[in-house]
Amino acid sequence: MSKIRFRQKQLILAGSIGGIVVLLICVTIGYFYFKHIEGKNETERNILEEQRDFAQMQLEEETIAVEVAADDYEAGDILHESDLVTINVPKRAVPENVMHANDIVGKYTKINLKKNTPITDSMLYEDGITPDDLRNQEFRLIELPSKLEKDEFVDVRVKFPTGQDYIVLSKKKVKDLANGTIWYEMDEQEILTMSSAIVDAYINDATIYALTYVDPHMQNEAAITYPANEKVLDLIDSDPNIIDVATTELERRYRQKLESDLQSMTEKQRQDYSNGKNGTKKETEEAADTSTVTGNSLLDQQQTPQNSEAVFTDNNVSVPVDATVTE
């Protein structure tokens, strides 16, 4: 019996020791888990307190009313009063050169503006007051860039056979464009300068052409370098019809150049051009027939045919003969 009791005591002692060890392990794990949760809660509490303090500071901070863009706008857009909205912004976040509505309305954007952007003076420009001598002027004698579009800005230049090249008109906006005819707004001084350049080109077999700006809303206008010829101006004064004569002659030269280029085409080039044009037309008709049969709306969206004139490319844009410069 004594041996059995001794063994039972050993088992009880061993079980007690094991229980104590397990209890210590659980207590240790529980302690560290509690500390982890407490630290996490402390971090979250600090974040919430910081957010609360920041919100309180914003409420107490001085704010001012600022005009911002009501929508997205592209460079070159004119801003009206309806394009602006007023919001309250912390004073510390407002740029020093921010503009107010009275200074913004009627001006043009230099860059693309995103909605809710505060507007500063460096983002805008203005055309200025319309002078009394401003007139619409059209030309058909200027060699134009092949990809020129309405509302682009160009310099009009004159190039003489000697290689000398001068700027006659600087940063002129293309008010309209149709079939080689271009329209500008010009004041009296620009009209006289252009008239002198036309007569100069007529007398000296020079070329008048246009170049576009890469980023017109950020680039400043070029300086006028063409010196109006006093003799030409005297000739204009003595015979005002000389401008019409010079204009007609320049248009005739450009027409002759066009006809010369057309005549220089080989039969193979003409045949390739004709085949390409007919092939494009046939493909378009077949695509239209397929769209009609299937009734699929996705197939109904036909792409614009490729320009088959790529077979023959003339980098110089020639101008028809019919028109004259008008004031």
Per-residue confidence (pLDDT) for residue 203, from 0 to 100: 87
What is the distance between the alpha carbons of residues 312 and 291, in angstroms, rounded to a whole number?
A: 32
What is the distance between the alpha carbons of residues 115 and 69, in angstroms, rounded to a whole number?
A: 5
pLDDT tens-digit series, residues 257-303: 667 776 777 777 767 766 765 665 556 566 555 544 444 433 343 44
pLDDT tens-digit series, residues 62-73: 778 888 899 999
Give me the residue spans of the domains in the chain.
63-125, 135-262, 266-311
Single pTM value for the model: 0.51
Query: Is pLDDT at 55 greater than 90 in this prediction?
Result: no
**Cβ distance 249 to 288 under 8 Å?**
no
What is the distance between the alpha carbons of residues 162 and 175, in angstroms, rounded to a whole number?
A: 32
**Cβ distance 101 to 119 under 8 Å?**
no
Fill in the amino acid letter for 113: L
pLDDT band at 51 (very low <50, low <70, confident <90, very high): confident
Q: Which helix (H) or strand (E) holds 186?
A: strand 181-186
Which range is least confidently modeled, 20-24, 201-205, 242-246?
A: 242-246
Fill in the amino acid letter for 247: T
Topology classification of domain 63-125: Type Iii Antifreeze Protein Isoform Hplc 12 (3.90.1210)
What is the distance between the alpha carbons of residues 36 and 297, in angstroms, rounded to a whole number?
A: 61
What is the distance between the alpha carbons of residues 111 and 145, in angstroms, rounded to a whole number?
A: 24
**202: nearest Cα among 258, 147, 261, 160:** 160
**How many other C-beta atoms are found inside a 10 Å radius of the C-beta of residue 131?**
11
Per-residue confidence (pLDDT) for residue 230, from 0 to 100: 74
Per-residue confidence (pLDDT) for residue 4, from 0 to 100: 60
Encoded tokens for 41: 């809660």
Per-residue confidence (pLDDT) for residue 315, from 0 to 100: 42
Which DSSP category does 316 fall into?
S
pLDDT tens-digit series, residues 207-242: 999 999 999 888 889 999 998 777 777 766 776 677
CA atoms within 13 A on the CB side of 73: 25
Which DSSP category does 152 fall into?
-
What is the distance between the alpha carbons of residues 235 and 241, in angstroms, rounded to a whole number?
A: 10
Which range is least confidently modeled, 46-60, 142-156, 166-180, 306-320?
A: 306-320
